[in-house]
Amino acid sequence: MNTALQRLYFALFGLFLSLPLIVVAGVSVNEKQNLAFPPQGFSLSWYGEIFANPEWRSALVASVVLAALSAALAVVIALPLAWFLWRREARWANIFQLLGIAPFTLPPVITALGLLTFWATTGFYGQPATAVVSHAIFFVTLPLVTLSLGFSAIDRSLVEAAATMGADDRTVFRTVVLPLILPYLVSGYAFAFVLSLNEYIVAYMTVGFTMETLPIKIFNALRYGYTPTMASVTILFVAIAAIVFSLVARFGDLPKLLGAMSTRD
């Protein structure tokens, strides 16, 4: 009886999480341009529309480029910091770890407004590059947390052995440390990439009037009524997230990764 009840509970939980997505998936295959569920007819043309319509396509390209670059910058900021904190004994340097975690922990509107003020004051407001830097700072927490976890999992005697054999810091890093933390580096990048792809408010406040990312485009479209392309983009994004996280789970230890990811909380 116990397992049956548990199954029911899990099923209801899953239903709640998937219900809106099921309806959106149904809406996305409507043949005509109307909001109807169950779908009337079947057509995949609204998926083609994402790539065929120049407006949606440029929003998609803008989002993917922004996510790819900002996640890379976030990793480039997080890697040396995490390495330094692991390699050196300097308590005061922990302040930078705190600074790296703060933007993601505070309500996003605060980071967004801070960056808007900053870009407006320095005169760069509206330039695409500012969105990359803004997202990198906003999401630096994710690679920082996964990398710190990766470093803490390294057996220090391994590194010591390499050093005893005469390898300097640089060689040790390249030949021993980097291969060991690579899975954590990749998952940190993946987390930052997917979240940047979906981020709205920081992007809106920094480049909302000069560049349209997909979330901004969907919101603008929502104001002027409905188009089925919104539904197909939604399903595309869910699919991207599911694929990326499945890959992370396939090549890394997801339960372990999440077990420690929340200890910061």
Name residues contacting another protein, limited to 111-140 (CB under 8 A): 111-118, 120-121, 133-134, 136-137, 140
Tokens of 97: 């770890």
Distances (CA, A) of 185 to 43, 162, 252: 40, 22, 11
Distances (CA, A) of 173 to 40, 74, 78, 178, 196: 59, 20, 15, 6, 29
Q: How far is CA 219 from the centre of its chain?
A: 19
Closest contact distance (angstroms) between CB of 48 and another protein is: 20
Angle at which helix 228-251 crosses helix 214-223, to 10 degrees, equals 150
According to CB under 8 A, which residues from 83 to 102 bind another protein? 83-84, 86-90, 93, 96, 99-100, 102
Q: How far is the C-alpha of 171 from the C-alpha of 177, rounded, in Å?
A: 9
Q: How many residues bind another protein (CB under 8 A)?
A: 99
Cβ closest to another protein, residue 53 vs residue 86: 86
Cβ closest to another protein, residue 72 vs residue 113: 113
> By rule CB under 8 A, what string of x and - marks binding of each residue 186-205 to another protein?
--------xx-xxxxx--xx
> By rule CB under 8 A, what string of x and - marks binding of each residue 20-59 to another protein?
xx-xx-xx------xxxxx---------------------
Q: Which of 208, 211, 229, 232 binds another protein (CB under 8 A)?
A: 208
- Select from 18-26, 47-55, 64-72, 178-186 the region that touches another protein (CB under 8 A): 18-26
CB-side neighbour CA atoms (13 Å) of 264:
18
According to CB under 8 A, which residues from 229 to 248 bind another protein? 230-231, 234, 237-238, 241-242, 245-246
Residues 6+ apart with CB under 8 A from 254: 245, 248
Q: How far is the C-alpha of 160 from the C-alpha of 162, rounded, in Å?
A: 5
According to CB under 8 A, which residues from 148 to 167 bind another protein? 156, 159-160, 162-163
Q: Which of 2, 4, 224, 225 binds another protein (CB under 8 A)?
A: 2
First to last CA, the chain: 36
Q: Is 11 in the site for another protein (CB under 8 A)?
A: no
Letter for the amino acid at 213? T
Cβ atoms of 241 and 67 closer than 8 Å: no
- Select from 16-24, 46-54, 64-72, 178-186 the region that touches another protein (CB under 8 A): 16-24
